[in-house]
Amino acid sequence: EEAKKVVLTLDDSLPKPTKAKVYQLESKRDQRIKISGWVHRLRAQKGMTFIILRDGTGYLQVVLSGKCTETFDALTLSIESSIEVVGTLKAVKEGQSAPGNHELVADFWKVLGKAPAGDEAFTNKVNKDSDPSIQADLRHLMLRGETASNVMKARSAVLSAFRDVFKDMRVLEVTPPCMVQTQVEGGATLFKFDYYGTPAFLTQSSQLYLETCLASLGDVFCVQESFRAEKSLTRRHLSEYTHLEAELAFIDFSDLLDHIEEAICGVIDIVLADPAISAIINELNPGFQKPSRPFMRLDYKDAIKWLRDHNIQKQDEDANGDKIFLADGSPQMSDHQVGDDIAEAAERKMVDTLNVPVFLTGFPKDIKAFYMKKVPGDENFTEAVDLLMPNVGEIVGGSMRISDYDELMAAYKHEGIDPAPYYWYTDQRRFGTPNSGGYGLGCERLLAWLLNRFTVRDCSLYPRYTGRCTP
Ligand code: 4AD
């Protein structure tokens, strides 16, 4: 009853506070400031209340004492409530620690939006030990946690670093459409929808559109969502992912590999040079070291030999592509042969053993996409590359593109693709074909590697995968 009567008022005799965000506080010591955020942590002791305030740009310790701790709101304050605080920013005393080594000593504060307490309290709802599907339903709240928000901050830094790197390399950003009527990576993973009465798809890759920009804009890139109706639930497959793709004109295969290496290492240099981001990387992936250059280059045929030599086998499949099991339920395994696709498990065992980034090159044409250029003099193989990273496996897929008109027409035919809807792509081979190549990088996979996350799902804002399209 007494507490309800205590009312705080802003003391106008004090210096007028300046509005600030946590990231700006370094230069505001001993000044009176006004700051708003969410109650991240809360501790009351000996007539004082200590709040760790979170405003998205950082964390700040707020100290309430005296009258500030005696209001009804002070006595009922709950985690995740939003509040506004006015006070003086003071360096913490010797031997004490707080984020930024300062704390805000409040002379006024108020609740803006109160969060539930008791059973419905945030900490009861959002628990990092709870069932993964409950956590997935609560993604919108999980994102407020330190780990999830650190991943998202690093993600933002990585995307921005790619833009810087491409600007330096004079590669222009374009925004291709997501709604398309052509496939790029095979019919099996297309999401189909009704487009004003005609069938259309969500894009699997913006590659073909990027290729059409070369003749007008030179080298181009995009950061666009790609969509894959993947049948398998794995820790590295999403149904929607952020696809960073680039296309380069008048290059050869070795230029393509050099460019991918240069772009990725450039991005790593930029993010490590940012103290806030390098601290996040160090916390999530202790001991992370920038990979040494040049990256290892491994020809597909040598990889098959490596897998055989290391007794890493593959599970056999029947004519329908279904996995074969023995009578006792165990998988029927056999040695890899030249011509085989290297499946996820074998790929990861290989790259985890090598424990460095690996450019795997020269895949058989029959397991690769229709547009890929053949290796000169070895026509059953392609000038294609996957970049494999330890712990994750493939993070980049790219290739040189078929530049010859007749060869492209034969490739459509071989793949059973009707060339009619591809007329605009085919025209690139008719009106001054370049020798070109490009690649796509899965942003969530790069982040899973950089931040040592078990699954790409943790690297997506709101991950979509089989059975999940919410929240
Ligand atoms: O190897 P992919 O299928 O290649 C292409 O789409 C090319 N058209 C790209 C190009 O040359 N412009 O996909 C490229 C990358 C993969 O290496 C992987 O990192 C990521 O996209 N990726 C996925 N990431 C998450 N979930 C999925 N289902 C993914 N499928 C591919």
pLDDT of 166-177, one tens digit each? Answer: 999 999 999 999
pLDDT bracket for residue 1 (50, 70, 90): low
Distance of CA 250 to the CA centre of its chain: 30
Using DSSP, state whether 140 is helix, strand or coil.
helix
Between CA 6 and CA 460 the distance in angstroms is 45
pLDDT bracket for residue 453 (50, 70, 90): very high
Cα distances (angstroms) measured from residue 116 to each of 81, 120, 256:
8, 6, 54
Question: Over pLDDT 70: what percentage of the chain?
Answer: 99
- The two beta strands, 198-202 and 191-195, are antiparallel
Can you give the pLDDT at residue 443? 98
Among 191, 202, 239, 241, name the best residue to mutate to test ligand 1's pocket (greatest count of ligand atoms within 8 A of Cβ). Answer: 241
Atom 21, ligand 1: which residue's CA is nearest?
Answer: 442
Mean pLDDT of the chain: 95
**Nearest CA-CA partner of 467 in 188, 231, 236:** 231
Can you give the pLDDT at residue 3? 54
The structure tokens 């205590």 sit at 6
- pTM, to two decimals: 0.95
Q: Which of 96-105, 219-228, 288-297, 316-325 has the lowest mean pLDDT?
A: 316-325
Q: How far is the CA of 47 from the centre of ligand 1 (A)?
A: 57
Q: How far is the CA of 223 from the centre of ligand 1 (A)?
A: 12
Q: How far is the CA of 238 from the centre of ligand 1 (A)?
A: 10
The half-sphere exposure of 261 on its side-chain side, counting CA atoms within 13 A, is 19
> If residue 438 lies in a helix (H) or strand (E), which one and from where to where?
strand 436-442
Amino acid at 110: K
Domain regions of the chain by residue span: 2-120, 139-295+356-459
Cα distances (angstroms) measured from residue 18 to each of 31, 53, 85, 164:
8, 17, 11, 33
**Nearest CA-CA partner of 345 in 394, 306, 301:** 394
Nearest atom in ligand 1 to the alpha carbon of residue 237 is: 26
Strand partners, 91: 102
Atom 18, ligand 1: which residue's CA is nearest?
Answer: 442
Q: What residues are in contact with ligand 1 under a 6 Å CB criterion? A: 184-185, 205, 207, 228, 230, 237-238, 241, 243, 245, 394-398, 438-442, 444-445, 456
Q: Is the ipTM of this complex over 0.90?
A: yes
Q: How far is the CA of 121 from the centre of ligand 1 (A)?
A: 40
> Is the model's pLDDT at 281 over the cut of 80?
yes
> Is the model's pLDDT at 271 over the cut of 90?
yes
> Is the model's pLDDT at 323 over the cut of 80?
yes
pLDDT bracket for residue 84 (50, 70, 90): very high
Between CA 431 and CA 414 the distance in angstroms is 23
Cα distances (angstroms) measured from residue 367 to each of 5, 240, 328, 380:
75, 23, 31, 10
Distance of CA 361 to the CA centre of its chain: 24
Among 394, 461, 468, name the best residue to mutate to test ligand 1's pocket (greatest count of ligand atoms within 8 A of Cβ). Answer: 394
Q: Please give the CATH superfamily to which domain 139-295+356-459 belongs.
A: Bira Bifunctional Protein; Domain 2 (3.30.930.10)
Alpha helices in 67-116 (DSSP H): 72-75
The pairs formed by 14-17 with CB atoms below 8 angstroms and a separation of 24 or more are: 14/107, 17/86
Q: Which of 116-130, 257-271, 326-340, 400-414 has the lowest mean pLDDT?
A: 116-130
Question: Domain 2-120 has what CATH class?
Answer: mainly beta
Nearest atom in ligand 1 to the alpha carbon of residue 228 is: 28
